[in-house]
Amino acid sequence: MFRKDSGEHILLISYGGSASVAFEDFKEMSQKKDFNTFYYVGYVQDKGCVLVHTMRKRECIWRNDTLYLLDQSNDSFEQAHSKILKAYTSKNISSSEFKKQMDQLDPRNYPETPRYKVIYYAGLFEDSNMVQLPIELNFRQEQITLIKKWEESNTTFLEIDIETNTYLRFVFSEDLKRLEFNSCNE
């Protein structure tokens, strides 16, 4: 895990998963500017596919005992992708039409609008271990669950889950000297 602090901004980069990629797709992927930064080779598999590891970047702000997370999900692109996938799986389009539509699906046509959202503030879990955040604090109105709270060397630590469009788990100290995230469901 890599962490960089700049004032109230915190940048975290850690392992994001692995995927098997066909060699032809890998050749194209390896030409992208973020290859060997956020994507890198694991190994070549028996059938000629390449296992590619990814790194995940998360940006946070820690201000006045409140932790904000930059949400970079591109909802409009994901909805367009899901619509094509649903049409194919419900047999409303053929395999060739599915491939054609997927090839034409260009994320550049669906600009993302990253926004910060609150994922924790001091006192969040005073009344319950599970809190649904209001839209004023978190535009996705996500549910935040306290998994564990403990003391270590006079410092309080928390582990929280965020129910969102992807799985997120954060472990942090209340002073935020320690902050980690995990995008794998344990």
Give pLDDT, residue 165. 64
Domain boundaries along the sequence of the chain: 2-73+112-182
Give pLDDT, residue 124. 96
Pairing status of strand 168-173 against strand 155-163: antiparallel
Give pLDDT, residue 183. 55
Residues 39-47: contacts with CB under 8 Å, at least 24 apart: 42/18, 45/20
Nearest CA-CA partner of 160 in 150, 152, 151: 150
Give pLDDT, residue 48. 84
pTM of the model: 0.74
What pLDDT tens digit does each residue of the chain (186 aa) get? 788 999 999 999 988 889 998 888 898 889 988 888 888 899 899 888 899 998 988 899 999 999 999 998 777 777 888 888 888 888 899 988 888 888 888 877 877 788 999 999 999 999 999 999 999 999 989 999 999 999 999 999 999 999 876 668 899 999 888 988 775 544
